[in-house]
Amino acid sequence: MDESGTVHRDGVMRLATARDELIPLRDDRVRENSAYLSVVLISRVITRLGSIEGRSRRSRSAVLLSSSFSAETPRASGSPPNPGRRRVSGSTRAG
């Protein structure tokens, strides 16, 4: 949910690269709290989230994700690899 109360349920993610996994390790937020790594990594690979588009999408995605996952982090284990882009719809929980 964004600051205006809009719930974003649809989005598109791309396959993460090694760079996507390494750059967040230099982020101060991740250094202070390692659980924040998931938020930064996911915000890097989201190419579209609801109606959020444009240049500020990555930073806005990180803010929305951090508020969504403040109590829990998404589970990445058990998901089969999926090359290319994947459409994400519905719940933000894996499993």
* 86-89 sheet: strands from edge to edge: 46-49, 10-13, 86-89
Percent of the chain with pLDDT over 70: 51
Q: Is the pLDDT of residue 92 over 80?
A: no
**CA gap 50, 28 in Å, rounded:** 27
Read off the pLDDT of each residue in 39-57 and give the average, rounded to a whole number. 73
Give the range among 9-23, 36-50, 56-70, 75-89 with minimum mean pLDDT: 75-89
pLDDT (0 to 100) of residue 9: 72
Taking only the tens place, the pLDDT of each residue in 11-47 is 888 899 999 999 999 988 889 988 888 888 888 888 8
pLDDT value at position 22? 93
